[in-house]
Structures are given as structure tokens and as C-alpha cells.
Structure 1
Amino acid sequence: MKKLIYLSFFGLLSFLYSCSSQINIDPKTLEEITTSNQFTFMAERANPTNYDVINVMNSMPNGNSSRMLDLDYGYTVVLKEKELDVTLPYFGRMFNPSYDTSKNSYRFTSKDFTLSKILNKKGNLVYTISPKDVDHVRVIYIEVYKNGNAYVSIDSNDRQPISYNGYLMKNKISKK
């Protein structure tokens, strides 16, 4: 009986340890990229706010919405000194859809945007980015947590809001 109690205790302890927050980036690197305002947000999961989308995904045979919203590698928001490059999928209701399917997701490059950064009460950095040369995006919020994880929310003029969970990393240096 004692072995069963010890075994269950260690099982519970290892489960709680594996569920703890994991650091995705070195704290020194995180501080460096947030002070320079040059980083890449790598999206891992999309969170649509429209329950119609979630209900449609749940109604598909042999699938559920939680698995479908896990994103593949490569969906990013790249913030550079004078450029914002966004490549993210969109799940939700669009009020002005386009026949050009490349315009139905968030795929744009902005060279004219305003950037503000504040530290909230929890100690997380919150970036507010307002692109001026992109007509369908009003504002992008990026909340950066202390462990390198990040939360991005996009508010648009012609579609319902959507958010993404992911992590930050250094910008890749392009060779010319």
C-alpha cells in the first residue's frame, strides 16, 4: 500500500513539473530583442473569437477544433527597425472577402507604422503596433511574457478579431 502511495505521489509530482512554464528563450536574449524592438513572433496556435468557426470545425467528422488550430512552423510576425512583416492565417468571419485568396489571410509588409511599448501591471511588455499603409488592419497587440512566450491579437476593420499564442525568437540574419 505504501508503494502505491509513493508511486502516485511521484507520478503527480512529475506531472506537475512537466506542466510548469517552460522558458523558450534565454532571459538575456529576450531583454536584448525587446529593448531593440527587433524580434520574430512564431505562432503555434490560432484562437478565433467566432464560435461559428469553432462549431463548424467541431462538426467535421474525425476531427476537433483544438487540433485544427495548432499551426505549422512558419507563421510569423517579424518586427524589424523599419519594417513589419506579417504572415498569419485567418479563421473567422470576413465582412469584405476577396476573390484573391492571398488577401483573405494576414500576409502583408508594412513600412509605415507606429509602435508603442508599455510594461503592464504583471510585468509583461505590451507592444501596440498600428500600421498606416495597410487598410484592413487597425492595430496589432503583442504581449511578451517573461519566459519568452507571447500572445498576439489583431484587430481589423473588415473581419472579426483573432489571437495567436506562440513564442519570440531572434530575427534571422539574411545574407546578401
Structure 2
Amino acid sequence: MKVFKKLVLLVLVFVTFKANAQTDKATTTKIVEEKNYVFVATSATPLNSADINKIMSRMPGNMNGGNINLSGSSYDVRVVKDSVIAYLPYYGRSYSASMNPDEQGYKFTSTDFIYDSKKNKRGWNINIKTKDVRDNVQMNLSISQGGYATLSVVSNNKQSITYNGYLSEVKK
């Protein structure tokens, strides 16, 4: 009976894990090769988490700034053949911050960029270098075959930041 319970539990865990996958292997391959996908951010990890922890610990609720949960928000990066559209928050040190709240974070549309994609055993490594964005933003996107992804963003005026999330198809 114990073996049966363990087997049922193992199958349940496996089914739950597969149900949480965002895209299947074929869909992920199709949308990445067509350059037509959305990276949906679920968490952010700033480079200088020690400094952010100092600030966050003074706030009500005594939060931790090491890994910031973005689930339920609409932060994403859309990649289509002729443009990259980013709408991501930024947590960290900015060397020349804008006073305009609409220009904080990574909020831009780039139509002049270099897109380099390399397939490996585990998925894809994609490098995007913008040419027409003010801070010369560079994005490194590591995508697994199941659609999970990690995005590292580097710019001239801000410390780097990493976002975790998943890929989805562009909705029309």
C-alpha cells in the first residue's frame, strides 16, 4: 500500500509539473524560429540586492529585495520580426535617472537592432542589441525547450538586472 501511495504521488507530481509548462517543445521551436514571441516576466533579480535589501527592510512588511515577484503583472518583452517592444520594471542603481516617470524601467520600442540566435542542447541563447534606444540596451535571453526563459538586461546607465519568466505566443 505504501508503494502504491508513493507511485500515485510521483505520478501526480509529474503531471502537475508538465501542466505548469508554458509551451510544448514544438510550439517553443516554432515561435523562436519565427521571431514571433512574448517573454512574460514572473520575477526580477537586481544585481545589487544587498543595497535593495537595506531599503526594503525599512518598508512596512519587512520585504526582501533579492528576488522580486512580478507574477500577475503585465511586464513583458515582445519580439517580432521587425521590432522589439519592452515593458519591464527596473530595480537597482541608475547612474543617470530620468525625472519623467514614463521613462523609468525598460520601456521602449526598437526597430533598429541586431538579433543573434544560437540553438544548443538545452534550448536557445538569443542576444539582442538595440541601436535606436537611448541607453544602448543589450538583452541576453536563454530559453529552454519547455518555454521557460531567463532574460539579462545590460545598459549604459543602469546596473544589470535578470528577469525569470516564460515564453508565449503573440496574441493578435
Structure 1 length-normalised TM? 0.83
| 2:52 corresponds to | 53
Instruction: Tell me the CA shift for residue 137 of structure 1.
Output: 3.3
Instruction: Tell me the CA shift for residue 19 of structure 1.
Output: 8.4
Q: Which runs of 5+ in 2 are unaligned?
A: none
Q: Which runs of 5+ in 1 are unaligned?
A: none
Instruction: Give 3-state SS (helix, strand or coil) of 2:145's partner.
Output: coil
| 1:97 corresponds to | 97
Instruction: Give 3-state SS (helix, strand or coil) of 2:29's partner.
Output: helix
Instruction: Tell me the CA shift for residue 104 of structure 1.
Output: 1.7
Q: Given that residues 42 and 73 in structure 1 are in contact (C-alpha distance below 8 angstroms), is that contact kept between their aligned partners in structure 2?
A: no
Distance 1:124 1:27, change over 3 A: closer
Distance 1:152 1:102, change over 3 A: same
| 2:161 corresponds to | 162
Give, in whole Å, the separation in 2 of the partners of 1:7 and 1:62: 43
Give, in whole Å, the separation in 2 of the partners of 1:44 and 1:63: 21
Instruction: Tell me the CA shift for residue 59 of structure 1.
Output: 3.6
| 1:125 corresponds to | 124
Summarize deviations over 1:13-69 as a string: whole Å, max 9, x none. Answer: 589658857421122211110110110001111111112013322342323226981
Q: Percent identity?
A: 28
Which letter does structure 2 place at the counterpart of 1:123? Answer: R
Give, in whole Å, the separation in 2 of the partners of 1:169 and 1:17: 22
> What is the aligned residue count?
169
Distance 1:54 1:18, change over 3 A: farther
Instruction: Give 3-state SS (helix, strand or coil) of 1:137's partner.
Output: coil
Instruction: Tell me the CA shift for residue 119 of structure 1.
Output: 2.3
Aligned residues: CA RMSD: 2.7
